[in-house]
């Protein structure tokens, strides 16, 4: 995709003049009668996101007025790159917070997935001293990475291709890469990952990326990489299966987050773990009622083969805990129950550290990437304890499904290891800055929180 944000090399750009909505009436009073007439004719008002194009005497585009809020929300700018005429624009402001918001909003709003089909070219934003806004640009780049990975169909983004993408990210950032593939998972004691992925012709694998100085605090990022989810033998209906290429959204999120951490050189040591599988249907697929002994030694009864995400995460969380990190963060497109509880745009966040929930929600609001705290309500744990195994991968009742899933994962996190679990949707149904399709929900929030927690 052609870059839509570039370093400004000349002044040949159309200025975009932001107007804070609260000051609209005062601004209008100061305008010429010609501008007042344009405002009246085109119904330009103080609604955030509105814009007005002004032509010069030769009927060429002279400037653009746009309405923003007073909170520097990037989404105030996100409609512009798709709605403005093609051309080169710049932000007429000396406020770095406004420019930072414009960069992120422009990047989010100009995204299109064009691997298989060309889309309309967007307007281009020129920024002076772009290096000053590296964090904003890396937010845009990481979001694009997440969206591209999720939007790619499963035939082109199976466990094999996801591994290739992860290896490329590792190489670009001078990180080490390794993977455990197929039956080697059994030899090296990752039985739950193998169980879920063994029915696919693309072998299951555990992907591992390591980066950073040995003296820095270790953070483990764990991602659910179910590259397509048929539901297994408890097969999904077609309407539920339609977008299951997105079930590797957790893996996409941790790769995007890892890329931000590495490119912005946070003072941490990073270990990225992705359980990459396809939950396919075949003669050797796992069945409802099967019991597997996980890497931790806990036995799990398969209550439903469509609750496979927590199974592949169980081995990865156990493995992450063996390194005694200072923090484990996992992302997973884990439950429909999370969407029932909070909708598509608001992922729930769980943590075994009560202070984390308040901190993370505050950090998510700062970057306009909302998360909502949910409880690890311990009385519900009895719902995932069956008669013939240590655990069951589904609750005994349908209520509280995202909580029982989180409680299941908690069983595989080592004692006294801080842990955060985000049950993201990884998808947008379409809104400003979030075009329909794969999306990064919670990634920017977690980067903000990790940056603050580890002293940046």
Q: Let me know whether 196 and 89 are in one domain.
A: no
Beta strands (DSSP E) in 38-111 are 51-55, 61-68, 88-91
Q: Which residue has the tokens 């089909």?
A: 117
Contact 192, 302 (CB under 8 A): no
Is position 310 annotated as part of the catalytic site? yes
pLDDT at res. 338:
96
Whether residue 134 is contained in a domain is answered as no
pLDDT at res. 2:
58
Q: Let me know whether 420 and 291 are in one domain.
A: yes
Domain CATH for 403: 3.40.630.10
Going by C-alpha positions, the residue among 366, 356, 352, 406 that lies closest to residue 384 is 406
Determine the structural domain holding residue 370 and report its residue range.
Answer: 139-453
Length of the chain: 456
Q: 223 has which bridge partners?
A: 274, 331
Whether residue 215 is contained in a domain is answered as yes
Domain CATH for 77: 3.40.220.10
* Residue 376, C-beta contacts closer than 8 angstroms, at least 6 positions apart: 350, 351, 352, 403, 406, 407, 410
Residue 205 CA to residue 158 CA, distance in Å, equals: 11
Catalytic, out of 147, 245, 295, 310: 310
pLDDT in tens, the chain (456 residues): 457 899 877 778 999 999 999 999 999 999 999 999 999 999 999 999 999 999 998 999 999 999 999 999 999 999 999 999 999 999 999 999 999 999 999 999 999 999 999 888 889 999 998 999 999 999 999 999 999 999 999 999 999 999 999 999 999 999 999 999 999 999 999 999 999 999 999 999 999 999 999 999 999 999 999 999 999 999 999 999 999 999 999 999 999 999 999 999 999 999 999 999 999 999 999 999 999 999 999 999 999 999 999 999 999 999 999 999 999 999 999 999 999 999 999 999 999 998 999 999 999 999 999 999 999 999 999 999 999 999 999 999 989 999 999 999 999 999 999 999 999 999 999 999 999 999 999 999 999 999 999 976
Residue 161 CA to residue 148 CA, distance in Å, equals: 13
CA 89 to chain centroid = 28
Q: Let me know whether 53 and 84 are in one domain.
A: yes
Residue 40 CA to residue 24 CA, distance in Å, equals: 13
Q: Let me know whether 236 and 87 are in one domain.
A: no
Q: Let me know whether 18 and 149 are in one domain.
A: no
Query: Domain total for the chain?
Result: 2
Q: Let me know whether 100 and 173 are in one domain.
A: no
Whether residue 133 is contained in a domain is answered as no
Going by C-alpha positions, the residue among 259, 56, 21, 66 that lies closest to residue 148 is 259
pLDDT at res. 119:
80
Residue 351 CA to residue 335 CA, distance in Å, equals: 17
Whether residue 386 is contained in a domain is answered as yes
pLDDT at res. 323:
98
Q: Let me know whether 147 and 103 are in one domain.
A: no
DSSP secondary structure string for all residues of 259-327: HHHHHTT-SSEEEEEEEEEEE--STT---TT-EEE-TTS-EEE-S-TT--HHHHHHHHHHHHHTT--SE
Residue 195 CA to residue 186 CA, distance in Å, equals: 9
Whether residue 261 is contained in a domain is answered as yes
Whether residue 176 is contained in a domain is answered as yes
SS3 state of residue 159: helix
pLDDT at res. 456:
63
Residue 82 CA to residue 42 CA, distance in Å, equals: 19
Is position 59 annotated as part of the catalytic site? no
* Residue 197, C-beta contacts closer than 8 angstroms, at least 6 positions apart: 159, 203, 204, 205, 276, 277, 278, 279, 312
Q: Let me know whether 183 and 52 are in one domain.
A: no
Whether residue 170 is contained in a domain is answered as yes
Q: Let me know whether 244 and 183 are in one domain.
A: yes
* Residue 115, C-beta contacts closer than 8 angstroms, at least 6 positions apart: 148, 151, 152
Whether residue 227 is contained in a domain is answered as yes
Q: 299 has which bridge partners?
A: 293
pLDDT at res. 12:
85
Domain termination site, one of 94, 128, 162? 128
Return phi, psi of residue 183, to 5°: -65, -15
Cα-Cα-Cα-Cα dihedral sign, residues 330, 331, 337, 343:
positive
Token output for 339: 């969407």
Question: Residue ranges of the alpha helices (H) in 354-438?
Answer: 354-366, 401-410
Residue 249 CA to residue 439 CA, distance in Å, equals: 8
Q: Let me know whether 74 and 102 are in one domain.
A: yes
pTM over 0.85: yes
Residue 423 CA to residue 349 CA, distance in Å, equals: 7
How far, CA to CA in Å, does 393 sit from each of 134, 223, 412?
42, 18, 13
């Amino acid at each position: 995709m052609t870059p839509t944000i570039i370093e400004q090399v000349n002044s040949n750009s159309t200025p975009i003049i932001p107007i804070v909505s609260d000051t609209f009436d005062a601004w209008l009073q100061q305008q010429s009668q010609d501008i007042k007439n344009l405002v009246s004719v085109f119904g330009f008002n103080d609604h955030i996101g509105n814009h007005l194009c002004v032509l010069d005497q030769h009927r060429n585009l002279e400037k653009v007025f746009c309405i923003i809020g007073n909170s520097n929300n990037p989404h105030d700018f996100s409609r512009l790159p798709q709605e403005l005429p093609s051309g080169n624009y710049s932000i007429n402001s000396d406020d770095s917070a406004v420019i930072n918001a414009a960069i992120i909003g422009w990047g989010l709003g100009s995204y299109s997935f064009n691997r298989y089909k060309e889309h309309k070219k967007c307007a281009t934003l020129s920024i002076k001293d772009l290096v000053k806004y590296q964090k904003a640009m890396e937010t845009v780049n990481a979001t694009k990475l997440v969206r591209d990975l999720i939007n790619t169909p499963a035939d082109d983004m199976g466990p094999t291709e996801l591994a290739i993408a992860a290896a490329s990210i590792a190489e670009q950032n001078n990180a080490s890469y390794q993977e455990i593939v197929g039956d080697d998972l059994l030899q090296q004691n990752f039985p739950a990952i193998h169980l879920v992925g063994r029915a696919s012709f693309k072998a299951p694998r555990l992907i591992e990326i390591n980066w950073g100085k040995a003296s820095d605090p270790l953070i483990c990022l764990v991602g659910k990489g179910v590259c397509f989810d048929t539901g297994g033998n408890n097969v999904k209906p077609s309407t539920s299966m339609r977008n299951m290429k997105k079930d590797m959204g957790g893996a996409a999120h941790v790769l995007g987050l890892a890329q931000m951490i590495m490119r912005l050189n946070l003072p941490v040591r990073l270990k990225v773990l992705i359980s990459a599988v396809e939950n396919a249907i075949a003669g050797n697929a796992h069945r409802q009622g099967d019991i597997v002994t996980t890497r931790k030694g806990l036995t799990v009864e398969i209550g439903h083969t469509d609750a496979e995400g927590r199974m592949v995460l169980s081995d990865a969380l156990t493995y992450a805990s063996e390194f005694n990190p200072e923090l484990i963060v996992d992302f997973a497109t884990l439950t429909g129950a999370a969407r029932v509880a909070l909708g598509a745009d608001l992922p729930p966040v769980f943590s075994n550290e009560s202070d984390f929930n308040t901190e993370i929600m505050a950090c998510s609001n700062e970057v306009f990437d909302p998360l909502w705290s949910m409880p690890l309500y311990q009385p519900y744990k009895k719902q995932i304890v069956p008669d013939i195994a240590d655990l069951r991968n589904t609750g005994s009742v349908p209520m509280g499904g995202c909580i029982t899933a989180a409680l299941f994962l908690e069983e595989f996190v080592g004692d006294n290891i801080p842990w955060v679990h985000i049950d993201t949707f990884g998808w947008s149904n379409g809104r400003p800055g979030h075009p329909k399709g794969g999306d990064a929900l919670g990634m920017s929030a977690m980067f903000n929180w990790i940056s603050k927690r580890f002293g940046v």
